[in-house]
A and B are shown apart, each in its own frame.
Chain A
Amino acid sequence: MPDLLLELFSEEIPARMQRQAAEDLKRLVTNALVDRNLFYEGAQAFVTPRRLTLHVIGLPAAQPTSREERKGPRVGAPEAAIAGFLKSAGLARIEDASIEKDPKKGEFYVAMIEKPGRSTKEALADIIPTVVRAFPWPKSMHWGDYHPAERLVSLSGMEAGMDPGTISAKYTGKNTLRWVRPLRGILCTLATPHDVAEIVPFDIDGLGSGDVTWGHRFMAPAPITVRRYDDYAEALQKAKVVLDADRRQAIILNDAKSLAFAQGLELVEDEGLVEEVAGLIEWPVVLMGEFEPEFLDIPPEVIRATIRANQKCFVLKDADGKLANRFILVSNLVASDGGAAIAAGNGRVVRARLSDARHFWLTDLSPLPDYKDKAAKPLDQRLAKLEALGIIFHDKLGTQAERIERIESLTNELARKVGADVELAARAACLAKADLVTEMVGEFPELQGLMGRYYALAQGEEPSVADAIEEHYTPQGPNDRVPAAPISIAVALADKLDTLGSFWAIDEKPTGSKDPFALRRAALGVIRIVLENGLRLPLTGPLNAAIWGALLDIEFAREDQAGSVVQSLERRGFPKGPELEEVVGAFSRAARRSPAPDNARLRETTASLLIFFADRLKVYLRDKGARYDLIDAVFALPGQDDLLTIVWRVEALGRFLDTEDGKNLLMGYRRAANILRAEERKEGAGAFAGPHEPAKLVLPAEKDLADVLAAAGAAARERVGREDFEGAMRALATLRAPVDAFFLDVTVNADDSALRLNRLRLLGELRDATHAVADFSRVAG
């Protein structure tokens, strides 16, 4: 049972691609083996910055022999037919075929064709080059003597005078391979335990397979000849290569923690960073570096971002949980001075980066020279700069400044509804995006919001305003915290509803796996803010306002409508100059603040966005393990745009349908609805609308149902009106017995057409009464 050892040795593979590459290598090779009936016992892939390794154990020595039975002509068939059969079956004499009997055909010849399987070695020599050539790197490249296939053709055309052999020789060995970085070596062996170990021979663009690898780039660069996995792993370990990425990560984490502990400090753990750093080294050596304590005046998040993003180092906390002036770095070298020079060098770079960060921090806290006249405070000056720069938010949706105006006016509308101070909320909305043009956020985009909060506090804004600037981006995902302060809620909702409304207005909706503007996340954010804060917020109004605001900006963005208005006013003799532009600007702002008109496009867009919310609500409830299948039943009712009551109703409905009464009533409802649908198909929708005539109720079960229905329907509607959904369900529950009795005793399609009409109307009323609570036809199962 031979084992395969494959190592693809290359120049440094980007850290972020390594793990996936190892998985891909394993998947592609083992799939190709199984496709060829080469079943194996186990497979494991490894990756370091310089090598992708695959170990497959327990392979057969060859593909199984395949047998195929071929029927031939009948015994005594003409000479030519027999000869043809012998040829096609590969037999020398007809005596090599067996004879079978068939009641219809009589005796006929049968040949058994045996095809011996190819050896595993041969199969691998095909598989590996194919896998390598088609490897799914996210980005790959050519190198060196690369010649595109087209050029070979065109050159051969140009050099038509030369003989083909010369041309071919001229280009033999030219590289057409793509790999993530230049591929430098291929080790590929097949080794049977306690038996032979041989090279699987193949060649990819002049790079031949062999049994050689290399150790650590600096500490063990000599070639290593090896044919078996156990020897390979051992040799690499000696040659300062930890093959297993998980082991490298564990070493880094463990050594970092103990190094921190020895100094009375604690590592600020960072999973993503450990993963990345483990992909930058083959032999982890954890060291500690230092920077001046003066830098600790910079916000800790900035220090961490600087050290993490630029230097890929970890920060440390002291016993009080404060950031320490030390950091952890992971080097790739056991240095002859114990790492002193490496730690010192890294410290110098960290210091340079931190002085950059401090420069950004102090610059952002200072007035902006060119905008001193436009606003008094630093962050307001940044806002003025953002407006002046005309930074585009999206080419169809105008500038960031216009977007901020939209968010402001939405915040205004929402603040009242969520109980926030309107003026403070407006202030927060106005400043929410100002940090986008600060130096710090320019350098570290992931600090947006947080820096806004720091800068707002520094210029004396209310803490609630500063908090809202940071929190308006939240929640960023299903596990992120949800803002709870009213001002934060108002701005966070406004920001998300504007994003959703805007992209809906230009018909940029998420499709399948594509959601480039994170609209699903925005909708989930709105849902979580509303539900987790228990907010009563009918969405139609804010959605209309958001979409209307975007539609206006789209109009003004299109071919610079505002500019053309200015020009046409100028032509009519209005004085030129900034005043005129201001008037037109004020006009467009006024239009945006005016209530959204009632038009079809707006209605349709809002309706489509509400359906998107219903879908997102389903996902949200499903993830929480709640009844999400009942959303449709509630959402199908008219005017459902209040997420909180929708959820209440769904919960009440779920509990009701779990009871015996609920299950039976649902069955009764379905029966009624089926009958109605069948009869309406014959006589048209609405044929049985209108109230029944009490005088025409003849059977006790009919009368009984009508009585209970009148009471239950009224009670259900009244309780729904009070949002007592449990009560409404209880009211419906009283229908169960009379409905059951009705279907037992009453023939709906009576011969007397007046009776029939009256009974169908009664069922129509039953359907309507249940629809006060939910559309039971949309209940699944």
Chain B
Amino acid sequence: MPSAADASLDPAKSFQGLILTLQEYWARQGCVMLQPYDMEVGAGTFHPATTLRSLGPKPWKAAYVQPSRRPKDGRYGENPNRLQHYYQFQVILKPSPANLQELYLDSLKAIGVDMALHDVRFVEDDWESPTLGAWGLGWECWCDGMEVSQFTYFQQVAGFECAPVSGELTYGLERLAIYVQGVDSIYDINFNGRDGAERVTYGDVFTQAEEEYSRYNFEYADTAILFQHFKDAEAECRSLLEIGASGEGRLMALPAYDQCIKASHAFNLLDARGVISVTERQSYILRVRELAKACGAAWLKTAGGGA
């Protein structure tokens, strides 16, 4: 009989166990185990440990959980499969090792997926982030028909060709947990692996947040303030980059990139509020992309970027 404490850490029984197992697995592969970036981002890719570190010649291996916000995906806590805030587990390996697929499959085994019982497939999925000026080729990874990860070989980031090429793995943690725990709704995921009165579900933790943020994202976020945030972030980003270019010892690629992330999130909120028309949408995406490109160019002039 396994103890309750074991279940708290069991990747097939608890959400936290799933995260901890993946962390341990990738730590053993030599990854720097980072913590989430402390800003609102739409995906783990936005973390500078992926976006910026995938540029330039320096090798890099990291993994981290990234809380991700997609305001438009909010469903007031009513849809069992969609959230406006969720977790990604992100792995970035540069250069991509020759056995990356095997490493990925072994990570699935580590969280309890039995390859003799389950059908794992690599299904074409070309990845593109218009706001980051980034694209890559790879797959959706399917487990018995469920998409549990994305697997991408970065070809371009911030408008720059990636050389060497980074391999990026993104695990959708809630999807994966639904799958390994065998439940039908994200809200039914067992978070702490305990039973009875001690059991805490994903819903216990996040239902209220989903309801409140859906309200905020769709109905009450102040659009005038958000438009101003967007402009401010854009201006600050440009200004930091200009100072950086003005002389030795003034580079601020990372703070500038933070402002790019802020502009991107303000745009996502405005988009959810429905105040950006289709034509404007393109131009906002373009403005964020220009910031991302400028930040990428600035990063390549720093030590981290291999200069």
Chain A residues engaging chain B, CB cutoff 8 angstroms: 11-12, 14-16, 49, 139, 141-148, 151, 180-182, 184, 218, 280-281, 311-313, 329, 331-333, 335-337, 341-342, 344-346, 348-352, 355-356, 359, 389-392, 395
**Which residues of B have CB within 8 Å of A348?**
144, 146, 182, 184
Contact A148 B163 (CB under 8 A): yes
**Which residues of A have CB within 8 Å of B139?**
12
Contact A143 B96 (CB under 8 A): yes
Any chain A CB within 8 A of the CB of B165?
yes
**Which residues of B have CB within 8 Å of A313?**
145
**Which residues of B have CB within 8 Å of A331?**
119
Given contacts A336-B116, A390-B277, A352 and B80 within 8 Å (CB-CB): yes
Having A142-B163, A146-B95, A395-B279, one finds 16 other A-B pairs with CB under 8 Å, namely: A141-B153, A144-B98, A151-B163, A181-B138, A182-B98, A332-B119, A333-B119, A336-B116, A336-B117, A345-B179, A346-B145, A348-B182, A350-B145, A352-B80, A355-B80, A391-B278
- Nearest CB of B to A119, in Å: 32
Given contacts A148-B163, A181-B137, A349-B146, A218 and B101 within 8 Å (CB-CB): no
Contact B155 A142 (CB under 8 A): yes
Contact A345 B153 (CB under 8 A): no
Report 20 cross-chain contacts, Cβ distance below 8 Å, ordered by A residue: A11-B101, A12-B123, A14-B124, A139-B137, A146-B163, A147-B163, A181-B137, A182-B96, A218-B115, A218-B120, A312-B123, A333-B116, A335-B117, A342-B118, A345-B143, A348-B184, A352-B81, A359-B79, A389-B277, A392-B278
**Which residues of B have CB within 8 Å of A141?**
136-137, 153, 155, 165
Question: Complex: how many Å from CA A352 to CA B118?
Answer: 19
The 10 closest A-B pairs by CB, nearest first: A345-B144, A14-B124, A346-B145, A12-B122, A331-B119, A349-B145, A141-B137, A144-B95, A342-B119, A390-B277
Interface residues in B112-162 by Cβ distance below 8 A to A read: 115-124, 126, 136-139, 143-146, 153, 155, 161-162
- Nearest CB of A to B105, in Å: 8
**Which residues of B have CB within 8 Å of A344?**
144
Contact A142 B165 (CB under 8 A): yes
**Which residues of B have CB within 8 Å of A280?**
121, 123
- Nearest CB of B to A654, in Å: 50
Question: Complex: how many Å from CA A312 to CA B124?
Answer: 13
Question: Complex: how many Å from CA A139 to CA B156?
Answer: 14
Any chain A CB within 8 A of the CB of B164?
yes
Question: Complex: how many Å from CA A280 to CA B119?
Answer: 11
Contact A342 B165 (CB under 8 A): no
Given contacts A142-B165, A332-B119, A391-B278, A351 and B101 within 8 Å (CB-CB): no
Any chain A CB within 8 A of the CB of B304?
no
**Which residues of A have CB within 8 Å of B124?**
12, 14-16
- Nearest CB of B to A247, in Å: 20
**Which residues of A have CB within 8 Å of B165?**
141-144, 146
Given contacts A144-B96, A335-B119, A139 and B146 within 8 Å (CB-CB): no
Any chain A CB within 8 A of the CB of B97?
yes
**Which residues of A have CB within 8 Å of B116?**
218, 333, 335-336
- Nearest CB of B to A181, in Å: 7
**Interface centre among B144, B153, B161, B164, by most A CB within 10 Å?**
B144
Contact A311 B126 (CB under 8 A): no
**Which residues of A have CB within 8 Å of B161?**
148
**Which residues of A have CB within 8 Å of B119?**
331-333, 335, 342, 345
**Which residues of B have CB within 8 Å of A395?**
279
**Which residues of A have CB within 8 Å of B184?**
348, 351-352
- Nearest CB of B to A248, in Å: 14
**Which residues of A have CB within 8 Å of B163?**
142, 146-148, 151
Residue of A nearest to B122 (CB): A12
- Nearest CB of A to B295, in Å: 21
- Nearest CB of B to A14, in Å: 4
- Nearest CB of B to A481, in Å: 33
Question: Complex: how many Å from CA A3 to CA B161?
Answer: 41
Contact B145 A345 (CB under 8 A): yes
Contact B164 A146 (CB under 8 A): yes
- Nearest CB of A to B190, in Å: 16
**Interface centre among A180, A181, A311, A356, by most B CB within 10 Å?**
A181
**Which residues of A have CB within 8 Å of B95?**
143-146
Interface residues in B148-194 by Cβ distance below 8 A to A read: 153, 155, 161-165, 167, 179, 182, 184
- Nearest CB of B to A358, in Å: 11
Residue of A nearest to B282 (CB): A392
- Nearest CB of A to B84, in Å: 16
Contact B145 A311 (CB under 8 A): yes
Kindly identify which residue among B143, B146, B164, B277 contacts A144, using a CB–CB cutoff of 8 Å: B164
Question: Complex: how many Å from CA A333 to CA B120?
Answer: 9
**Interface centre among B119, B122, B139, by most A CB within 10 Å?**
B119
Question: Complex: how many Å from CA A422 to CA B211?
Answer: 48
Kindly identify which residue among A148, A184, A329 contacts B145, using a CB–CB cutoff of 8 Å: A329
**Which residues of A have CB within 8 Å of B182?**
348
**Which residues of A have CB within 8 Å of B155?**
141-142
Residue of A nearest to B115 (CB): A218
**Which residues of A have CB within 8 Å of B138?**
181
Given contacts A144-B98, A144-B165, A332 and B121 within 8 Å (CB-CB): yes
- Nearest CB of B to A146, in Å: 5
**Which residues of B have CB within 8 Å of A329?**
145
**Which residues of B have CB within 8 Å of A146?**
95, 162-165
Residue of B nearest to A351 (CB): B184
- Nearest CB of B to A116, in Å: 40
- Nearest CB of B to A465, in Å: 28
Question: Complex: how many Å from CA A342 to CA B114?
Answer: 11
- Nearest CB of B to A630, in Å: 48
Kindly identify which residue among A181, A218, A346 contacts B144, using a CB–CB cutoff of 8 Å: A346
